[in-house]
Structure 1
Amino acid sequence: MPLPAAPLRGVVPPLCTPLTPHGEVDVRSLAALAERMIDAGVHGLFALGSSGESAYLTDEQRRTALATVVETTAGRVPVLAGVIDMTTARVLAHARTAARAGADGLVATAPFFTRTHPAEISGHFRRLRDGVDLPLFAYDIPSAVHSKLPAATVLALAADCTLAGLKDSSGDDGSLRRLLTALRADGSDGRFSVLTGSELTVDGALLAGAHGVVPGLGNVDPAGYVRLYGHARAGRWTEAVAEQDRLAALFALVDVGDESAMGRSSSALGAFKAALHLLGVIDCPATAAPQLPLGDAAVKAVRRHLEDAGLL
């Protein structure tokens, strides 16, 4: 399904990438996960994002995962492809592969590893847009790339149509609010999509004017985020807040891992995959090396969170 001329709106979950016990992409489970998202009424899918462990996958595994999602989706909703990498040349290579695979849009961060000036960030995105004729979304995730996208850069790239939108995972709600206000002021909000990646504050972001959400927790409870978005679009803010509160309680499952023994990614992505395994969606809850697996006590805690949320 091609992206609409108007901003992409709604719930666009960043799909986990199920793996086999040997670390290969589990095509059957990934197809089942994508099908579950579509059945829940999501408005798009984002393959190969942070929740998809794209940073841990080989180029061949990335191709397999994206091809599986595109084939399973079969045009029913748009598929955004993460093309995240350190440098412009490497991102362009991923972008061309994604275009050949049938992706409807691309998602890229600023370059990383070395410090990058805003002029270089702008040049990076313009080269990507010139190199591949697909809508391009910027991914603002300072926790991963160690720099925040400057608002002035985003506004300029929106104004000249280099960017079709922004996935904001900065966690800076004040900055997001100011950006939305500026986009409305210059008229760009009619064509530029702002999607929040902050699962816990979706109701507030939508009230402020965001067009949708890219929730990692949407892997576990896509229907909850679809309900939340529907309530917000209809102006049922009391119901939206209640759904957001329920999802916020469920989000506690990302904390089940012992942070003295494993990284935050191991805990959060391990919990998403443990939940999907417990729900019978994927065959194996393995995460990519060198992330560490959750222990039995943590998996039991994930089960309790699912039960409390009414999912089990």
Structure 2
Amino acid sequence: MTLPAPLTGVVPPVCTPLTPDREVDVPSLLRLVDHLVAGGVQGLFVLGTSSEAAFLTDAQRRLVVETVAGHVGGRLPVLAGVIDMTTARVLDHVRAVTAAGADAVVVTAPFYASTHPVEIARHYRLVAAGSPVPVIAYDLPSGVHTKLPADVVLDLAAEGVLAGLKDSSGDLAGFRTVVSGARAHPGITGFSALTGSELIVDAALAVGADGAVPGLANVDPEGYVRLDRLFRAGDREAARAEQERLCALFGMVGVGDRARMGASSSALGAFKAALYLRGVIDCPATAEPQVPLSEAEVARVGEFLAGAGLL
């Protein structure tokens, strides 16, 4: 399908359910997609951070896109991450995911080698030139160790290279600079400004965001859709209350013992444990080498679900 310009609303970064032997669990993935669609989301983003894309093989990545795009059948736009270190490798992923049915690609800055803003801009221009679908920039400094400069994003948007931005930097002021700059620039139209934060969706909407890509929306899509609709209807107080309920639910990402696991293991393990406890997926396994949650930690996730009225 054609990507809406701008893309608005809630676009979850879809988790990738895995079997105990770490293969893609296709039946669980289909149930997860149905769960998200029933929750009222306006798009699906596969192969992002919450999808554990960095841990999947190329064959697994393609299977995920084929499964999701085939299942939604054009009812919703499917965005696919093409995250890799260099332009040539990203273009390989672009060819694979677009052949598998992706409606847009989501691209970080290059990483591993240090990059200059001029090189980052060149990367996006080359990717866009080789992509048959729109390109959305992914600002992910925690993963690629580079913050996308606002002026680079706006210049590329004005050139027609970028169709949007998914901002997972946590820098609301920087995000606002992009949003206000895109709104004021006569050469930028239909640009999608999306926040990747679970915790400040209401604030991002207030500064002009078009939508949100929160990992926690896997667990509670209805909550984020409700928040988005309340805000757009002008009920700021109800939207704030819903955001605060979701902030409390997000506390589940801290259940993992940081003495034996990192933040990714704890957060992604919590999302998958929550989906498992809600009966959406069959197994809460995360990809290697992430450390699984203990039974006690999974039980703590259940407490957060119960507190949010989801069990």
Q: Same fold judged by TM-score > 0.5? A: yes
Question: Percent identity between the aligned chains?
Answer: 60
Q: How does 1:38-117 map to 2 (within 5 A)?
A: 38-117=37-116
**Aligned-partner residue type, residue 19 of structure 1:** L
Q: How does 1:154-303 map to 2 (within 5 A)?
A: 154-187=153-186, 190-303=189-302
> 2:3 is paired with a residue of what secondary structure?
coil
Asked if the contact 2:197/2:214 (under 8 Å) is kept, the reply is yes
Scaled by the length of structure 1, the TM-score of the pair is 0.98
Q: Distance in 2 between matches of 1:126 and 1:170?
A: 22
2:8 paired residue number? 9
Asked if the contact 2:2/2:77 (under 8 Å) is kept, the reply is yes
Residue 183 of structure 1, CA deviation: 1.4
Q: Distance in 2 between matches of 1:309 and 1:220?
A: 11
Q: Distance in 1 between matches of 2:148 and 2:106?
A: 14
**Aligned-partner residue type, residue 92 of structure 1:** L
Deviations 1:172-193 (A, max 9, x none): 1111112212112214664110
Number of residue pairs matched by the alignment:
311
1:19 paired residue number? 18
Which piece of structure 1 moves more, 184-193 or 58-67?
Answer: 184-193
> 2:68 is paired with a residue of what secondary structure?
helix
Scaled by the length of structure 2, the TM-score of the pair is 0.99
Which piece of structure 1 moves more, 265-274 or 68-77?
Answer: 68-77
Asked if the contact 1:158/1:164 (under 8 Å) is kept, the reply is yes
Asked if the contact 1:180/1:189 (under 8 Å) is kept, the reply is no
Are 1:36 and 2:17 counterparts? no
Q: Distance in 1 between matches of 2:197 and 2:256?
A: 20
2:127 paired residue number? 128
Deviations 1:238-283 (A, max 9, x none): 1110110000000000000011110100000000000000000000
1:141 paired residue number? 140
**Aligned-partner residue type, residue 195 of structure 1:** L
Asked if the contact 1:203/1:228 (under 8 Å) is kept, the reply is yes
Asked if the contact 2:158/2:188 (under 8 Å) is kept, the reply is no
Q: Distance in 2 between matches of 1:31 and 1:2?
A: 22
Residue 234 of structure 1, CA deviation: 1.2
Q: Distance in 2 between matches of 1:178 and 1:147?
A: 17
Asked if the contact 1:13/1:42 (under 8 Å) is kept, the reply is yes
Q: Distance in 1 between matches of 2:189 and 2:299?
A: 46
Structure 1 unaligned regions, length at least 5: none
